[in-house]
Amino acid sequence: MSDERKAAKKPGKKKLIVIGLAVLLMVGGGVGAGLYASGAIAGGASHIDPKLPRLVLRDGVDDSVAAKYFSPTGDKAVDPTKFVASYYPLGEQFTVNLKDEDGFMQVGIGMSTYYDQRVLDNVKLHEMAVRSAVLTTLSQQGLANVSSAEGKEALKKDLRKAVNEALKSREGFGGIDQVYFTSFVVQ
């Protein structure tokens, strides 16, 4: 009788092992598929959403470079020697009162992107929201902030962040790499 019990238990153990391996295989396959789809393992570059803007490569730069710098929200810094920049000046100048000062600042602004025309089309489409974000950022500045070269560089970074946030909230993608002053007057 003890031999019969052993014989009856063996198929049960085999069944458990087979079920356990099947579950392990399914979980492992799911994790692998998820990593592949997210681009964490080979082949991820082909899964970039075609609706998102693309980086514009310089002539002679290998296509695989774009996958290294691409960001699904457009806020990853890129190597400017590998991509072509496009520029867009915001039409009218911005005039704001200086924070806690009896003065004002008048600034002209332009911006650039290494992504395709869709980013600049988004800037044009949402120019009112972009201008509002710029005005809000500029109005937070005091004379001490904008009097030095370091302060102006910090302001450009703040403006870039504000513009990208305005675009991301409306289109899901920022893509502005640099903000430039086309004029700058403080009185």
Looking at residue 173, which CATH number applies to its domain? 3.30.479.30
Backbone angles phi, psi at 95, to 5 degrees: -125, 125
Do 7 and 70 lie in one domain? The reply is no
Indicate whether 58 belongs to any domain. Answer: no
Indicate whether 37 belongs to any domain. Answer: yes
Do 141 and 174 lie in one domain? The reply is yes
Do 9 and 92 lie in one domain? The reply is no
| Alpha helix ranges (H) inside 39-148 | 64-69, 117-125, 127-138, 143-146
- Say what the pLDDT of residue 43 is: 47
Indicate whether 57 belongs to any domain. Answer: no
Do 73 and 140 lie in one domain? The reply is yes
Please determine, for residue 40, whether its predicted confidence score (pLDDT) is greater than 90. no
Arithmetic mean of pLDDT over the chain: 87
Where is pLDDT greater, at 51 or 6? 51
Q: Which residue segment(s) compose the domain that 83 sits in?
A: 64-186
Do 24 and 92 lie in one domain? The reply is no
In angstroms, rounded to a whole number, what is the distance separating the alpha carbons of residues 164 and 1?
Answer: 77
Indicate whether 76 belongs to any domain. Answer: yes
Do 73 and 158 lie in one domain? The reply is yes
**Residue 59 banded pLDDT, cuts 50, 70, 90:** very high
Indicate whether 53 belongs to any domain. Answer: no
Q: How many CB atoms lie within 10 A of CB 7?
A: 9
Read off the amino acid at residue 132.
S
- Say what the pLDDT of residue 22 is: 75
Indicate whether 158 belongs to any domain. Answer: yes
Q: How many folded domains does the chain comprise? A: 2
- Say what the pLDDT of residue 45 is: 46
Indicate whether 110 belongs to any domain. Answer: yes
Please determine, for residue 35, whether its predicted confidence score (pLDDT) is greater than 70. no
Indicate whether 136 belongs to any domain. Answer: yes
- Say what the pLDDT of residue 44 is: 44
Residues 166 and 156 sit within 8 Å (Cβ to Cβ): no
